[in-house]
Structure 1
């Protein structure tokens, strides 16, 4: 028959939780093998080290103080950085270690609550975004609507010749409202729709989007050219790839440099079995260096030129992250901007799931 110590060790070693035993001087004397699986840390690298290397002194004093007040155990929560420099969240249960009725140290039982914490953080982030979106929506929808209504009242009293001018202004206000509604639709669609895995004809997608944008901005003359390399199929979420391309191209047109004689947008794409690499370059007004780390923030606008909502680039980055891709931007005021987007090609992979 197995002795009590063997049974206890077998129970601990087969647990998903991490057990740590520290002596009276707070040195680590035992760590269960689950620490390697959960944190990617080898046991020998921990044995003999002070628990203060991982738990701040104030928190440790709080544990020992509570236990000295005859409490059987206490619970707490803390964050540990794993071997890949990622934060892992734990509920920790702390009890006193006795030997012949004398306290000899502490036993820590760590339960991984990272998935729960990440869901909580995502919920908080979503709620904060929702608050901003509701405020922004009511504000930005009301402005062009009130402008249009005001112009209607003026036009009703104007001469026939003047009414054409007011109708043109009303049209601009309603187009601004329509553009905002489209961006809000993209925002919620990106949040709610499950990710798809479908064949994408990038050449056709670009051709259709460029033609559509020419109709949206008939007064903007911009040369848009593209070149697509690679002889493999691209599989990803078509709607989301379209959203990324449309937002960046739309910005390039809206924020073109009106002082330049030959405004352009150049698109270069390379499709491999692993990734679709897209480079979009323009010679527009550019973005100030101080704003480059903020342009993807919700509702941030780096310039007053045009009537953007500050949603476009936020949606772009959020969409790319959902596709497990990445985006980089280089820009210089007066010279232009380059976006580089990398989207995983799902050619030989299962569809990406929304987190």
Structure 2
């Protein structure tokens, strides 16, 4: 009992406290150039490690909604995380990484230095400038409720540091551009002077011309290289601007998280308090319900035990009574069979003697009395015959084998052709050819015989022609045999009583009242049914339905 209550309580509590359904978050991994990075191993929060696919994407299945702050990291030897951004509404986590050999802005500083060294002209006027490697500190990728304000401050300091170094590099790029412009102007002037000398001074020797042309070619090459350096400097300036924009976005994101974190935590506390209150209320209700259920269950179980004991006693008594009734019925069947059989002999003698007396006696009054005796003897003989048949059918076991229904109908008609009223009946048949069913031949023969006799006994003598139509067919896997006559019919109020034992439609009937009762009992024994359609004065239709076995 206690185990049942405990299990029920656990199931209910688990149902109320069940976790939210799992969800999926799209994790996108990109490098410094915003290109998808394949095969990087990442860890998110407390979930198992995973690798990005060829498109730098992984679908992470989470058990509950991710809430900032949470941790994202990698154990890669080649890459480190620059930043990550979680877009809650779109279920998307964007992770930016960089190669550990290069800082986010150090490469740009080195390239600027390379620009200075490669873009100078041969007149030794270049200014050697040292590239300033920017600090490679990144914004923390781990953020907890305790370190939120510190992370925000640290991000702000990092931003200011990047901003100062960016301004310095930008200033150097500006000076370099100015130097390149002045250098190009100087080269243009020298090219113009040399070109003019080559065109105007005709006294130049061949060696001087060759030297001037070589110098002119060198100036043109340096002019072209300065242009390339100028364009490359512009491209790197754009890269630096993009990096600064990224830092601004990251700073804004962290500030927004910092501003909303307190509100989110407060909302979580309110939700948790409500949940705890609801859980306590539900727990109290469940406890009270279980107590009431336990009391009710105990009371019901006690009553059921008493009722079971009473039912067992009643069933035992009923079984004994049923056995006694079956024994008594069996004795009654034996008695009815023996009594009917014993009465049959004297009845035959009385019938024969009354018939002989009617022949030899000349007194009209005595002759009438002997006829009445003979008629009564015949009725009693029919009754005894049917009682013997009923007793025999009730005691016999079913013998199932294939029975040709058409043969049974034809054979029964031949057997009944000598009974009173048969010659006046116009009998028509509509029998399905070669129709066989698995049934008991004796019981089926008894059904057909009684229904034909019933139609003859209750034919309407007032009608010019008495008819009986017999038809057979198979329908819905059942055998149907129908007996339709135009006899006296049966009033609708007697339809339910017509199959009862010793029922007769009228006091003038010559029947015993057992024919239709025997029919119904035999049909039930064969697992079938019978229906009646009849109106007084219109005739009757009996339809028998038997299984095909």
TM over 0.5: yes
Shift in alpha-carbon separation, 1:189–1:293, aligned structure 2, 3 A: same
Q: Which aligned pairs between 1:175-324 and structure 2 lie closer than 5 A?
A: 175-218=378-421, 221-229=424-432, 232-271=435-474, 274-324=477-527
Partner of 2:309, secondary structure, is strand
Unaligned stretches of 5+ residues in structure 2: 5-291
Distance 1:137 1:25 in 2: 65
TM-score calculated relative to the size of structure 2: 0.39
Partner of 1:229, secondary structure, is coil
Q: Kindly report the root-mean-square deviation, in angstroms, between the aligned alpha carbons of the 2 structures.
A: 4.7
Whether the 8 Å contact between 1:328 and 1:341 is mirrored in structure 2 is yes
- 1:336 matches 2:542: no
Shift in alpha-carbon separation, 1:292–1:137, aligned structure 2, 3 A: farther
Partner of 2:310, secondary structure, is strand
Partner of 2:484, secondary structure, is strand
Distance 2:400 2:334 in 1: 32
Partner of 1:268, secondary structure, is strand
Q: CA deviation at 1:181?
A: 2.7
| Structure number with bigger Rg | 2
Shift in alpha-carbon separation, 1:119–1:232, aligned structure 2, 3 A: farther
Q: CA deviation at 1:298?
A: 1.8
Structure with more of its chain in helix, by fraction? 2
Range 275-284 or range 166-175, more displaced? 166-175
Deviations 1:94-126 (A, max 9, x none): xxxxxxxxxxxxxxxxxx98x959955973894
Whether the 8 Å contact between 1:326 and 1:342 is mirrored in structure 2 is yes
Q: Which aligned pairs between 1:17-28 and structure 2 lie closer than 5 A?
A: 26-27=296-297
Unaligned stretches of 5+ residues in structure 1: 7-21, 30-49, 52-59, 65-73, 78-90, 94-111, 347-355
Shift in alpha-carbon separation, 1:299–1:161, aligned structure 2, 3 A: closer
TM-score calculated relative to the size of structure 1: 0.58
Distance 1:297 1:131 in 2: 21
Q: CA deviation at 1:271?
A: 3.6
Structure with more of its chain in strand, by fraction? 1
Partner of 1:109: none
Partner of 1:75: 309
Count of matched residue positions in the alignment of Structure 1 and Structure 2: 258
